[in-house]
Amino acid sequence: MSTISTNSGTLPPGPDIKPKLSRDDILMRGSMMVIVLYLIVTLALPLYTMLSKSFSTYRMELSQYEFQVSDEAGNFDGTVLTGDALNRQTEVFTDTDLVTGSDGRLPVTGFFPDFSFRSPVMYQIRNTTDTGRFLVGSTLHQGTEWVELDSNTFRRVQLRPVQSRGLGNFVNYFSTPALFNSIKNSLWISVVSTIVTVTLAFWFAYALNRSCMRFKGVFRLIAMAPILVPSLLPGIALVYLFGNQGMLKELLFGASIYGPIGIVIGSVFFTFPHAFLIISTALAISDARLYEAAASLRSTPWRTFWTVTVPGARYGLISAAFVVFNLVITDFGLPKVIGGQFNVLAVDIYKQVIGQQNFEMGAVVSVVLVIPAILAFAIDRMVQSKQVALLSARSVPYQATPNPKADRLFLAYCSLIGLFIVGLLAVCQFAALIKFWPYDLSLSLKNYQFDKMDGGGWGSYFNSIRLALLTAVIGTSVVFFGAYLVEKSKGFRTGRSIFQMFAMLPMAIPGMVLGLSYIFFFNNPSNPLNGIYGTMAILVICTVTHFYTVSHLTAVTALKQMDREFESVSASLKQPTMKLFARVTVPVCLPAVLDISIYLFVNAMTTVSAVVFLYSPKTTLASIAVLNMDDAGDIAPAAAMGMMIFYTNASARIIHLIASRGILKRTQAWRSR
Amino acid sequence: MKHTTSFLAALAVGALTATVAASETELTVYTAVEAEDLARYAETFNQSNPDIKINWVRDSTGIITAKLLAERDNPQADVVWGLAATSLLLLKSEGMLEPYAPVGVEELDVKFVDGDNPPAWVGMDAWVASVCYNTVEAEKAGLTPPTSWKDLADPMYKDQVIMPNPNSSGTGFLDVSSWLQMFGEEGGWEYMDALHENIARYTHSGSKPCKLAAAGEIPIGISFAFRGAKSKADGAPLEIIVPSEGVGWDMEATAIVAGTANLEAAQKLVDFSVTKEANEMYNTGYAVVAYPGIAKPVEHFPEGLLDAMIDNDFEFAANNRAAILKEWQSRYDGKSEAK
């Protein structure tokens, strides 16, 4: 992934010549540092805060408490026992019992084997330090005074934990089967979904690139549709198709859609376009001479397929597999809707944080989830860097030859996939228009009265559009400018490689993890940036950061196509670089700029995972509303809102298409002579 | 030039209104009451207390509780109006509530007032567990309606019941804590072991089981009465069953946050929150309110619900919450996915 051209010549090294920094260089390096700083504040620091949170534990410090027990007459003989000593005598609590959460409580009557709430024995308890805390009923006692209680009140004493640091949360996590089972579940559904999706997408891409079947354009459009909806939507469609009142329930032969089956089907739907795009690119280019050679060697088509086609596309296949794996394992919306009792890591984070307010355990699960995500990402990057150009100057582009039988087969196959994608969307739209499934099948717009439901009503829809527009505008500017700086500035290798590293990092961080780390970092009163918590600004920042990497790579690719000579020419003409950037670079790269902005817009409309922790009552979002309405059991309105997102994104794409045609005609005229 | 003048004028007006606003007291009130009700609550309050302005901060119960706990050392709220009593007990145990006996508190049902004197919190209304039973789907599956909690553990209902996960849902937790109180610790877990065999799945939210029952996804949903009444009003073929052993419940309650700078105004608000007028206001959404004898029946509400409410030990629920949830998770959350 190195972008730095190395001059490994054979000449002996000459003396180091350091060119003087011009004002432009300083400006560019300064700006680069500003963007690096942005990524540090919005990515590195929050992640660090989260990591440290996962080591923050709560422990019962028994040595902090002292007890006295009276005789039957209520007289104390002055013997003072610490909680620690009592526990060693009685062995009521093991060490793991003493590790707890911030709301942990520990009853103490177990320390006194002959305790009875009816006995006239009196008890005294006190903290030995100022940090000690205990409850009598619901009343908190701090400070080191002795508190005298009768037996019946003493049974209401509960000790409270103190904060400490350690691996306690991780120990707790791995000793709770309910939690660590999720690792297995997550890996299992991710692997199955990956195999299914990549296989299906491969044949789909193969049909589109290597056959002469008809309607290729239509299929290409359909294949991209799932990108326009939140990942929850296929889940909702599956409920209507295969739920207990489902239209096609019989097809499952009694199996429940709520669980791994539903997650895998839904995952295939929402990851399909990603896999298709990558594999399609890999299959688009191939050298016809290899096929000619295979044919002249009398290789069977089957053999040619395995020795020429698949090896040619292997990097695309591997890359697609890891991208799909990463998408499935980090996705939260789909298993939330259709997962039933099948626990996965991403949903566990949500359950721990929103359901139980156990932020420490949420941080632990996040750390666990980051590991496979980073691994998948790293392997993908390694594979990609090995990819070499298949097409050399002497290659002859492969052209498919008509084969009526095969073409018909491919058409049937693609129609099935197309039906699957369009079908799920159509089911959602249909469900949204039904008054009360399955008892009242009349059509109505009742489910569009979002203001009567949870989730923030129509306001959240408009909030989402605002978020998407802001993200597109701000994100594109920051990302493209950053990519320009890193690509075109001279020297300053360390700075540039640090920048590259930071720009790649967001892709490896699951949305849930990013969102949670933002809570820890920004919702801290001592953080000077605390003010943006709960505002639209934090949502924009989070979304830009979340989708930074792909945008950055798009920009870098476009910029690489521009010769560095432009910079030299502008320098020799004594023009400031910023002028060159505004007058030449941006107009030339306009197609990429538009692509980045539509990418950010669509993702901002559909994203759930990161923002689910960050929205406030004033900044509810449409995608979150889908989640919350489904959560509250309003499934049809959830489908209606999901389809609103689809139509919005589809319109945005169309506008983008028309706009880019118009703009490109004016700015890209130089490309044709 | 003209712009400057109008700008200055605007500034002056702004300054004027600012001083006017300063002469009235502003209260920051944290609440989990439904957003659509808030404007109505504030309006009714301002009829008798026009000089106190309420600034609402609203979110779901869990979030508001967490927010308050997070602000333990630097409280931002003056009053909490409309939060689950179990949550307020957690706050009380952190020493975060200012005890205060509002004028007229003796009029309220004692169940709805904190046991201490002066009470740390006073109740407003109750939400009560109930079973939503879809008559159409149950008939298709050949089920007979259950009349008690124990009935629900009958093998006849295998995979026909949905209930909320107590780890995330307040309604789910009040079910579990009520079973532990009614059947005793051992009996309660035994009961849940048996019930677990019949549960198709556990949901995140407390209202979803009833909505799923209303939509026929499942014949039986363990939820709360108010939700069932609403779905029934929407035309769902539901019957709302009040199990004969009694039903768990939690209440929405009001309390003053310790350390408030506006103690006097906060007390006025709490005084208002226990009046007959306020309780009539709660009655539009809740069938059971703290002030005895004024509640008008809510349409489709099951009969005998009030008598079935158990003598809920909120202290037990709050202090054992963490332990109960841990036990629940180890028993049912890990085991359930093995299917």
Q: In this predicted complex, what is the ipTM?
A: 0.79
Q: Tokens 């009557």 — which residue?
A: A109
A177 and B334 in contact by Cβ < 8 A? yes
B236 and A439 in contact by Cβ < 8 A? yes
A207 and A276 share one domain = yes
The answer, for B135 touching chain A at a CB cutoff of 8 Å, is no
Residue A78 to residue A66: CA distance in whole angstroms: 12
The answer to whether A626 and A645 are in contact (CB under 8 A) is yes
Which residues on B lie below 8 Å from A256 (Cβ)?
200
Q: Average pLDDT, stretch B263-286?
A: 92
Domain of residue A314, CATH code: 1.10.3720.10
pLDDT digits (tens, 9 = 90+) for B184-221: 999 999 999 999 999 998 988 888 899 999 999 999 99
Token code pair at residue B84: 């689950």
Residue of B nearest to A240 (CA): B217
The answer to whether B51 and B33 are in contact (CB under 8 A) is no
Residue A222's pLDDT is: 95
Best mutation target among B94, B337, B339 (most A Cβ atoms within 10 Å) is B337
Residues listed for chain A: 673
Token code pair at residue A368: 């666990």
- Is residue A570 scored above 50 in pLDDT? yes
Residue A572 to residue A592: CA distance in whole angstroms: 27
A231 and A129 share one domain = no
A280 and A373 share one domain = yes
Confidence of residue B47 (pLDDT cuts 50, 70, 90): very high
Nearest chain A CA: its distance from B6 CA (Å): 30
Query: What SS3 string covers A644-655?
Result: HHHHHHHHHHHH
Q: What percent of chain A has pLDDT over 90?
A: 44
A343 and B333 in contact by Cβ < 8 A? yes
Q: B252: which strand partners?
A: B84, B125
At B91, give phi and psi (nearest 5°).
-65, -40
Nearest CB partner across the interface for B322, out of A103, A138, A259? A103
Residue of B nearest to A456 (CA): B35
A22: left (phi over 0), alpha (psi -120 to 50) or beta: beta
- Side by side, which strands form the sheet with A134-136? A106-107, A157-159, A134-136, A139-141
The crossing angle, in degrees rounded to 10, of helices A177-210 and A260-284 is 40
A563 and A652 share one domain = yes
Cis peptide before B219 (omega within 30 of 0): no
Residue A410 placed within a domain: yes
- Residues 6 or more apart whose Cβ sits within 8 Å of residue A666: none
DSSP label of B113: B
Residue A388's pLDDT is: 65
At A317, give phi and psi (nearest 5°).
-65, -45
- Is residue A308 scored above 60 in pLDDT? yes
Dihedral sign, Cα of residue A287, residue A292, residue A295, residue A301: positive
Q: Greater confidence, A492 or B28? A: B28
pLDDT digits (tens, 9 = 90+) for A206-231: 999 989 999 999 999 999 999 999 99
Residue A320's pLDDT is: 93
A392 and A493 share one domain = no
- Is residue A667 scored above 80 in pLDDT? no
pLDDT digits (tens, 9 = 90+) for A517-562: 998 898 877 888 888 887 899 999 999 999 999 999 999 989 988 8
A350 and A474 share one domain = no
Residue A672's pLDDT is: 66
- Residues 6 or more apart whose Cβ sits within 8 Å of residue A120: A72, A73, A74, A150, A151
What's the domain count of chain A?
A: 3
Residue A19's pLDDT is: 66
pLDDT digits (tens, 9 = 90+) for B98-131: 999 999 999 998 889 988 889 999 999 988 999 9
The rounded mean pLDDT for chain A is: 88
Q: Average pLDDT, stretch A354-373?
A: 86
Distance of CA A336 to the CA centre of its chain: 14
- Which structural domain range is residue A458 located in? 23-46+451-671
pLDDT digits (tens, 9 = 90+) for B58-99: 776 766 787 787 677 778 889 999 998 988 998 898 889 999
- Residues 6 or more apart whose Cβ sits within 8 Å of residue B206: B164, B169, B170, B171, B172, B223, B224, B227
Confidence of residue A18 (pLDDT cuts 50, 70, 90): low
- Side by side, which strands form the sheet with A81-82? A81-82, A65-69, A122-127, A147-150
Residue A356 to residue B259: CA distance in whole angstroms: 27
- Is residue A650 scored above 60 in pLDDT? yes
- Is residue B13 scored above 70 in pLDDT? no
SS3 content of chain A, % helix, strand, coil (to 5): 65, 5, 25
Residue A13 placed within a domain: no
A351 and B318 in contact by Cβ < 8 A? no
The answer, for B120 touching chain A at a CB cutoff of 8 Å, is yes
Which residues on B lie below 8 Å from A142 (Cβ)?
95
A456 and A591 share one domain = yes
Residue A168 placed within a domain: no
Confidence of residue A673 (pLDDT cuts 50, 70, 90): low
Smallest CA-to-CA distance from A134 within A123, A121, A147 is with A147
C-alpha distances out from residue B44 to A431, B49, B53, Å = 40, 9, 12
Distance of CA A658 to the CA centre of its chain: 31
Cis peptide before A260 (omega within 30 of 0): no
pLDDT digits (tens, 9 = 90+) for B223-235: 988 888 888 888 8
B330 and A336 in contact by Cβ < 8 A? no
A338 and A226 share one domain = yes
Which range, of A379-393, B52-66, B322-336, averages the lowest pLDDT?
A379-393
- Is residue B22 scored above 50 in pLDDT? no
A154 and A209 share one domain = no
**What SS3 state is found at B289?**
strand
Smallest CA-to-CA distance from A362 within A373, A346, A378, A377 is with A346
The answer to whether B205 and B169 are in contact (CB under 8 A) is yes
Residue A610 placed within a domain: yes
Residue A16 placed within a domain: no
Q: Which domains does chain B have, with CATH numbers?
A: 25-125+250-296 (3.40.190.10), 127-248+310-336 (3.40.190.10)
A646 and A517 share one domain = yes
A69 and A27 share one domain = no
A201 and A335 share one domain = yes
Smallest CA-to-CA distance from A545 within A516, A511, A522, A590 is with A511
Q: Average pLDDT, stretch A224-249?
A: 93
Residue A172 placed within a domain: no
Q: Which of A143-147, A230-234, A504-508, A657-661 reaches the highest mean pLDDT?
A: A230-234
Residue A435 placed within a domain: yes
Last residue of a domain, one of A413, A443, A473: A443
Last residue of a domain, one of A414, A443, A472: A443
